[in-house]
Structure 1
Amino acid sequence: MKRIEIYLMVVLLSFTACAQQETTSEFTATTAAAGDEPLEEAVVNALNDETLQDTVVKTEAEWRKQLTPEQYFVLRQEGTEPPFKNKYDSNKKRGIYACAACGNPMFSSKTKFDSGTGWPSFYAPIAKEQVKEVEDRSFPGEVRTEVECARCGSHIGHVFPDGPKPTGLRYCLNSAALNFQEK
């Protein structure tokens, strides 16, 4: 009986949301081809928006009223949307990805890549100050690093050490946690 329990635990661990993959050099850039106009101006404008500097604190009732049920599940209850069936996994447009709860600009299409996981993936945030990384022990037997919005504390996804150069990181995010602002 113990072997079956251990086997089931191993199987469950292999199906965790945003599961780590073997590091590979086969990452495919999804945006910002050679010769594209740089996004620096859009990034600077987003980061300089003074309305986004204050910490956002709301009651859960206020969050429920503001967010869709899917957004509330992901952002406030730390849920995970299904892979490959989300809004931004295949998005190849240029722009900025902001927190769907508070508008905090967190990721640029310049760092987006196709990780093959079914969730939008990035190798770096716009600035480290835009996200917060927190130890996540919510899944038995596994320690992950959760990515939260630094402005409102909402759950965005997880970060893993199996991404492409130059950082070697893979920020595996939920589309429901993001709003895309096309450049």
Structure 2
Amino acid sequence: MNGDKAVQQLATFAGGCFWCMVKPFDELPGIVSVVSGYTGGHTVNPTYEEVGTETTGHIEAVQITYEPELFPYERLLEIYWQLIDPTDKGGQFMDRGYSYRTAIFVHSEEQREKAEASKEALKASKRFKAPIVTEILPAAPFYPAEALHQDYYKTHPLDYKMYLKGSGRGEFAEQHWNNREDRERLRKQLTGLQYEVTQNKSTEPPYQNEYWDHFREGLYVDVLSSDPLFSSADKFASGTGWPGFTRPIEEGLIRREADYSSGQVRTALRSRLSGAYLGHLFHDGPEPTKQHYRINSAALRFIPKEELEANGLGRYLSLFE
């Protein structure tokens, strides 16, 4: 969905160890690149070892090149806040020291206003009892880190998983962003079936769900986040009693994970940004790929083609030309 002359902007976030700050942004629609590096210091081209001595004034950060039309700055901020402990002045999780502190480096007045607004909203939510100490600072020269530190989650997957697990980031995020209050809000927002499907991996009855035989032109979006997940152009009559699609609109918005719950290995599907459970991926679909995304209707909301523009999804009208 990227245009040839799409406008690109930079976003720079410091959130502790940059190894853990790449994957959450990488390969989302509209994300051109995510580079690990150093910023905010007073020397030129610092090395990892120099930054670690905390004498150069730099901190570890990631710089994201993105297309705001496809992925707005506000969405980047939403992801950022959920990756960090914004109340910690002395580092992040098991990484301590000045070079691991948090900060949002803004590249324009518009970014500054949006960053300040998101910080105030986080304070107002009272999600954290301690004060929010993450600074919002003018962008400074950014120096890419050594090759070893780029895309670490891809080049050193085992080391990355062990480091991430040991850091405590996952447990912290679960505690503060998927707690009882969040679940209660979802219960009020969703129907009982929608909640059971998206949060508890339930499966709705075949042939007794909203979209199994629905073929009107339009998009099927995440019922929680409204992220565009599937198009009617890729929907087919699967004969299973559930909606079937040959592919998602954007691969980057779908997360795959192993599912052993039925006594066999299957590929479960989640909406990447909301975490909502969607269904399963099978390989008994139409040629040539034979991919069959079997999705629960309760995880989706349908937007007709003629309403896409009004819902901010006009860029997807080309799917129906």
TM over 0.5: yes
Amino acid at match of 1:121: G
CA distance in 2, matches of 1:52, 1:108: 22
Question: Highest Rg: 1 or 2?
Answer: 2
CA distance in 1, matches of 2:255, 2:271: 6
Structure 1 segments, 4+ long, off by >6 Å, are: none
Say whether 1:65 aligns with 2:188: yes
Q: Secondary structure at the match of 1:48?
A: coil
Say whether 1:48 aligns with 2:74: no
CA distance in 2, matches of 1:73, 1:154: 10
Output the aligned Cα RMSD: 2.5
* Equivalence for 2:257: 134
**Conserved? CA contact 1:81–1:174, under 8 Å:** yes
Choose from 246, 266, 280 the match for 1:158: 280
Say whether 1:114 aligns with 2:136: no
Matched residues, number: 141
CA distance in 2, matches of 1:52, 1:118: 34
CA shift, 1:61, in A, is 1.7
CA shift, 1:127, in A, is 1.3
With CA pairs under 8 Å and 6+ residues apart, which has the higher RCO, 1 or 2? 1
Percent of aligned pairs with the same residue?
39
Choose from 153, 167, 179 the match for 2:301: 179
**Conserved? CA contact 1:88–1:119, under 8 Å:** yes
| Structure 2 unaligned regions, length at least 5 | 4-29, 31-68, 83-176, 306-321
Amino acid at match of 1:106: L
Q: Map 1:59-98 to 2 at 5 A.
A: 59-98=182-221
CA distance in 2, matches of 1:49, 1:40: 11
* Equivalence for 1:125: 248
**Conserved? CA contact 1:52–1:103, under 8 Å:** no
Q: CA, structure 1 residues 162+52, in 2 after alignment: closer, same or farther (shift >3 Å)?
A: farther
Higher helix share: 2
Q: CA, structure 1 residues 52+106, in 2 after alignment: closer, same or farther (shift >3 Å)?
A: farther
After TM superposition, the score normalised by the length of structure 2 is 0.41
Q: Secondary structure at the match of 2:212?
A: coil
CA distance in 1, matches of 2:247, 2:269: 12
Q: Secondary structure at the match of 1:132?
A: strand
What are the superposed Cα offsets for residues 100-124 of structure 1, whole Å, 9 maximum, x if unpaired?
1111111011110001000000010
Choose from 269, 274, 281 the match for 1:147: 269
CA shift, 1:165, in A, is 2.0
